[in-house]
Amino acid sequence: MHKKWIKPKNNLAIEIQDLSKTYINSQKKIHALSNINLNIKCGSFYGLLGPNGAGKSTIINILGGTTTKDTGKIKIWGLNIDTHRKQSKLAIGIVPQELNIDAFFTPKDQLELQAGLFNVPKKQRVTDYILELMELTEKANSYSRNLSGGMRRRLLVAKAMVHNPPIIILDEPTAGVDIELRKKLWDNFKKLNKEGITIILTTHYLEEAETLCDEIAIIHKGEIVANDNKKNLLKLIDKKILIIKFEVSPNKTLINALSRFGETKILKKVCQITFKPTKVSIDKILKVTKNHGLTILDLQTKDANLEDVFISLTQN
């Protein structure tokens, strides 16, 4: 789609070095960002995950030029935002956290208006393509006030695309959206990424980052506490869960024996053991149960998820 944007030599869509930001609010200093360093590769689906107030929107707003930074160096698609302000802005499309659409214009009109704002020549406009991509073709000529919540969100994404940026930033795109609609939006975002667009998404929904993103930075109180691909992040946690269903309820001695492997919970005939896979093998646990002569009816294992990683990183 975006032929005019040749990838930077280092293949980095966004480079953030030593970024800091302090807000001053009625003489109180708020350290919103402290020494943030991030590299986001071209083509990735990148997640910026953190609780409310972590500093996610501050990063996005600095990238978009609506908030100033105190210190740090930022490049967007190889363009330094201080020395190439205008060009660097053209490389990103930001979908803001608040829903701001004009109820009295049709989606098509709004995209045309937006294209006008960005001085996109009529011939180069791809309004219909964007409407199609965001599944808004059917509603292209209806009043926007008649759009559903999901359609409004998609229209905002569409608006961020009119100037053909290689990077789209979504700031909490599904906050307050019900689960069904959220999953539909996820499909739309995945499609955009498949088209070759680099996507940066901020969210406080762990499941959202886990489902969509291949690289994730976890931000907490203005600091990056983890930054890796999803697989490595999950490896940070030495945790596995084994669930065993016995034929009869296990007795006290067996429960005591199992407790030595890790936290053990019993619900009638079902036993759940949370253990460290680097220290305990499943084989060892099963041998102990066999020694007690109990018949196993079913077995299930569960791995750590992003929530475990998040909790362990932000509670220390």
Chain positions contacting ligand ADP, by CB under 6 A = 23, 25, 30, 32, 50, 52-58
Kindly indicate which of the ranges 56-64, 110-118, 140-148, 151-159 contains the residues binding Mg ion, using the contact rule CB under 5 A: 56-64
CB proximity list for 180: less than 8 A, separation 6 or greater: none
Per-residue burial over 11-23, b if 16 or more Cβ lie within 10 Å, else e, is ebbbbbeebebee
Alpha-carbon distances of 108 from 56, 130, 138, 291, rounded to whole Å = 31, 10, 11, 71
Other CB atoms within 10 A of residue 292 CB: 14
Phi, psi of 56, rounded to the nearest 5 degrees: -60, -50
> How many residues of this chain bind Mg ion (CB under 5 A)?
2
The least CB distance from residue 205 to ligand ADP, in Å, is 13
Q: What is the dihedral of CA 118, 120, 122, 124, to 10 degrees?
A: -150
Identified binder of Mg ion from the candidate list 57, 88, 114, 164, rule CB under 5 A: 57
Q: Which does 30 bind (CB under 5 to 8 A by kind): ligand ADP, Mg ion, none?
A: ligand ADP
203 binds Mg ion (CB under 5 A): no
Q: Closest CB to Mg ion among 46 and 77?
A: 46
C-beta closer to ligand ADP: residue 68 or 316: 68
Residue nearer to ligand ADP on the CB measure, 130 or 226: 226
53 binds, among Mg ion, ligand ADP, none (CB under 5 to 8 A by kind): ligand ADP
> Residue 54 CB, nearest distance to ligand ADP (Å)?
4
**Angstrom distance (rounded) from CA 125 to CA 119:** 10
Residue corresponding to tokens 């045309």: 112
If DSSP codes are grouped into helix, strand and coil, which group holds residue 295? Answer: coil
CB of 57 to Mg ion, least distance (A): 3
DSSP at 83? T
> What is the identity of the amino acid at 168?
I
Ranked by CB distance to Mg ion, the top (closest) residue is 57
Buried b (16+ CB within 10 A) or exposed e, 182-207: beebbebbeebbeeebbbbbbbbbbe
Between 57 and 110, name the residue whose CB sits nearer to ligand ADP. Answer: 57
Q: Which is nearer to Mg ion, 79 or 170 (CB)?
A: 170
Taking only Cα atoms into account, the Rg of the chain, rounded to an integer number of angstroms, comes to 24
Give which of ligand ADP, Mg ion, none residue 54 binds (C-beta under 5 to 8 Å, depending on kind): ligand ADP
Q: Which is nearer to ligand ADP, 56 or 139 (CB)?
A: 56
Site residues (vs Mg ion, CB under 5 A): 56-57
